[in-house]
Structure 1
Amino acid sequence: MGEKIWTHSGDSHFLEPDDLWHQIMPKKQADRMPRTERLSETEERVTVDGKSFTRALPKIETAKGASGETIMEMSHRPPGARDIGLRLKDLDNEGVWGEVMYQSIGLWCNLIEDPQLIKEAARAENEWLVSEIQSLAPDRLVPAALMPLLTPEDAVAELLHAADIGLHLVSLTTGNPPGTRDWNDDSWEPLWAAAEETGMVIGFHIGTDGEDQGSAFRGPGGAVLNYVQTTYGGQYAAMKMVAGGALDRHPTLKVLVSEGGASWVPFIGDRMNEAYRQHGTFVRPQLSMLPKEILYRQVYASFQHDETAPAALWAMGYQNVMFGSDYPHLEGTFGHTQKTLHELFDEVRPEVRQRITQGAFADLFPHVSAPPAVPAS
């Protein structure tokens, strides 16, 4: 494959300890936090504050050592999925240096409807993120702060706390939380102002619309339809931030849409511009520039395997394309990251590769160090 390609990753996940909530919260509260229970090889139950639903699981295949011991679960449990020391070794082997890290079971916290519970959970987890993850490699790992989103006031307070303890990214849901107004509503203005003031990046991870999108479609083609369906929430979130005027009012605020691909951005930008021009008499608010310009300026998008993503930069002028490994998930690139990177970038100009693998990430997280230098061939 030639030389090793080093990249940063705009999308990955950490797997929480099974007893995380009981480590960091009183038992009465911890018992209400998200948990999973495997029902069979292909199904698990997710329970959040007394409410449950089931969802399908990928089949897990295990690799056995010479004496029969399990050495890794092949589908979505790389060696470092729960161990940060082993994780860094995995990343080094894969050629991934800095990486954004979202929750796993914690993503289901957006289903909590008790403001006090989610507020206290976010405070506890974010303290844990700093001490147990970020502190182990502060120049490489960028864990996303858990956010209480049932009121703008609680969200602002926790964003300020997260910034104060040294986090650099907050995780918002692609769909607005229960009982709240949508992201294009002015009630969220204090949150955008606080994020811009502190330099915190707003992260939207796809599939956080507040429902199990993995079962939206049934029948022939359902698996493919459901997988594609999960990407739309990130696109809507970005459009709301642009069309609602939040990014226009806060021109240094940056948004990352993780795991949703990147080539949608030029298309959505064109469509938004057409609406803004052709239906201008209905457009509120008026923006200082065309929507596509704002989208291109402030929204970043990460992808894994999309062969069209590099062309969004070199052919369509969208500079904020970012690679993402999605470690340690099944749909990620673990085990074949270098193969994937060479397939994506061997035929593109070096400056395009540099921008997608490292440059856009550095815009968002300048505190992350540069990857090791690649020896000249």
Structure 2
Amino acid sequence: MNKIWANSGDSHFLEPEDLWRTSLPARLADLVPRSEKDPDGLWETVHIDGMSFRRQLPKPQAQEFYDATHRAPGARDLDLRLKDLDNEGVWGELTFPSLGMWNSSFRTPEVLREAVKVSNDWAWDKIARRSPRLIPTAQVPTLILEDAVAELERCAEIGYRAVFMPTSPHPKQKPYNHDSWEPFWAAAERANMVLAFHIGTEPVDLTATGPSGVVHRGPGGAVLNYVETTYSGQRVATAMVASGALDRHPDLRILIAEGGATWVPFLADRMEEGYRQHHMLVRPKLTRSPREILYSQVYASFQHDSTAVAAMTAMGYNNVMWGSDYPHMEGTFGHTQETLHGLFDGVDPAVKQRITVGAFAELFPSVPPLPTADAPAPVGATS
């Protein structure tokens, strides 16, 4: 097969597990997450920010499943990662953090603020400086919104162009449709920062036993839980439109990563209907229609969905973006070319270009142009 090159709007990198503990002063390092496994391997004690709790570890077969999500060679190694990307036909790549999944568990603002700075400085030095093809997402400490604004502005000055956001805010903060977030939305718009909401990142009860993300049990539980992760991204987009946040900030762009794309036209229908049929109850009033706001300011990434292309060709939604989800099991590593050919063979070249390259380049123009037939892709060590 001729190689189809694409940019990826969704991937993940595993930082050193001891990054926070080895980089923070001792009085703060003692408060970052660490775990102690029992000798029998069945339970562990988790310590974080002055709290300790016990939780049951996944059974061996489940642990094998979770470990498999990080077996790609470049999950932790950037040299191997770039070689993987060259082999798979992935050019530019938006990378989400790993340690950032703990952010909603902190309760001491100083610890979260300093831990996030360590992560952002590390990611810029190790990932962004390694290759212009890699776009790391910054993290912000949302226990105190003033801290979040300050770190966003600091990262923008460093050179970041995207901020990783969980699909639900820190438990101590108001929901995203609340006006208290207005200074943050305004700061992101001023800094030309994309707000990258990744599905499946809503806060979970870490004191609960068993793996996080388990909402449903019983028949069909695995599929129910997998599908459940997508809904939070749709709620974010709905909140940002209905609350007027995107209407007030027309230059602000948000990305809902890994949640598919065909839900955007569906939400546009429902929001248009609600806004029209219940207009007497709707506050605030928008200056543009919900569909116009969704279609112009919300981007959505997918990896395998056969219907995603139709969101553009049949439903007029142009901000569809492909993503590999490297190195996770849900992603395309090992069969990226097969996936891309299955999605785009026979598709209008303009549609193919927009989804594989154009939408990403629109958000992150600093990534160099893709290789051409006359200039083949460089080896993975290229920076």
Regarding TM over 0.5, the answer is yes
The answer to whether the 8 Å contact 1:55/1:214 transfers is: no
State how 1:14-163 maps to structure 2 within 5 Å. 14-35=13-34, 48-49=48-49, 50-52=51-53, 53-54=55-56, 56=58, 58-60=62-64, 75-137=69-131, 139-163=132-156
Counterpart-to-counterpart distance in 2, 1:371 and 1:205: 25
Task: Provide, for residues 177-233 of structure 1, a one-character-per-residue CA deviation record: whole Å limited to 9, x for no partner.
Answer: 122111111111111111111101101011111016621111110000000001111
Counterpart of 2:136 in structure 1: which amino acid?
P
Contact 1:32 1:48 in 2 (8 A): yes
Which range moves more in the overlay, 169-178 or 271-280? 169-178
Q: Once the 2 structures are TM-superposed, how far is the Cα of residue 106 of structure 1 from its aligned partner?
A: 2.3
Q: Could you tell me which of 171, 174, 177 is aligned with 2:167? A: 174
Residue 35 of structure 1: how far off its partner (Å): 4.2
Q: Are 1:160 and 1:198, in contact at CA under 8 Å, matched by a contact in 2?
A: yes
- CA shift for structure 1 position 369: 1.1
Q: Aligned to 2:84, what secondary structure does the other structure show?
A: helix
Cα deviation digits, residues 81-122 of structure 1 (max 9, x gap): 111111111111111111111112321212212211111111
TM-score, normalised with respect to structure 1: 0.91
Q: What is the distance in 2 between the residues matched to 1:233 and 1:26?
A: 35
Structure 1 residue 33, shift from structure 2 partner: 2.1
Q: CA deviation at 1:29?
A: 1.8
User: 2:257 is matched by which residue type in structure 1?
Assistant: S
Matched, 1:237 2:224: no
Question: How far off is 1:374 after superposition?
Answer: 3.4
Q: Which amino acid aligns with 2:215?
A: A
Whether contact under 8 Å (2:41, 2:57) holds in the other structure is no
Structure 1 letter corresponding to 2:100: G
- The answer (yes or no) to whether the contact 1:202–1:256 under 8 Å persists in 2 is yes
TM-score for the superposition, normalised by structure 2: 0.89
Question: 1:189, 1:246 within 8 Å by CA — same for their partners in 2?
Answer: yes
1:262-316 CA distance string (max 9 Å, x none): 1111101110110000000010100011111101100001111111111001110
Residue of structure 2 in register with 1:338 after alignment? 337
Q: Quote the Cα distance in structure 2 between the aligned partners of 1:132 and 1:157.
A: 22
| Residues 164-313 of structure 1: pairs in structure 2 closer than 5 A | 164-211=157-204, 214-313=213-312
Secondary structure of 1:60's counterpart equals helix
Show the counterpart of 1:68.
none
**Matched position secondary structure for 1:216:** coil
Change (3 A) 1:294 1:75: closer
Secondary structure at the counterpart of residue 282 of structure 1:
coil
Q: Distance in 1 between matches of 2:8 and 2:126?
A: 20
**Unaligned runs of at least 5 residues, structure 2:** 206-211, 376-383
For 1:253 and 1:375, locate their aligned partners in 2 and report how far apart those are by CA, in whole Å.
36
- Number of paired residues? 363
Give the secondary structure class of the aligned counterpart of 1:215. coil
More divergent stretch after superposition (301-310 vs 31-40): 31-40
The code of the aligned residue for 2:300 comes to A
211-220 or 264-273, which deviates more = 211-220
Q: 2:379: which partner in 1?
A: none
Contact 2:42-2:56 at 8 Å conserved across structures: no
Verify the 8 A CA contact 1:60 1:75 in the aligned structure 2: no
Deviation at 1:43, TM superposition (A): 8.5
Following the alignment from structure 2 to structure 1, what is the Cα–Cα distance between the partners of residues 57 and 348?
42
Root mean square deviation of aligned Cα = 2.1
How has the CA–CA distance of structure 1 residues 41 and 259 changed in structure 2, closer, same or farther, with 3 Å as cutoff?
farther
- Taking only the aligned residue pairs, the percentage that are identical comes to 56
**Could you tell me how far apart the structure 2 residues matched to 1:133 and 1:292 are?**
36
Decide whether aligned partners of structure 1 residues 179 and 7 sit closer, same or farther in structure 2, where only a CA change above 3 A counts.
same
Letter in 1 for 2:102: W
Question: Is the partner of 1:288 in helix, strand or coil?
Answer: coil
Gaps of 5+ in 1: 62-72
Q: Could you tell me which amino acid in structure 1 is paired with residue 259 of structure 2?
A: G
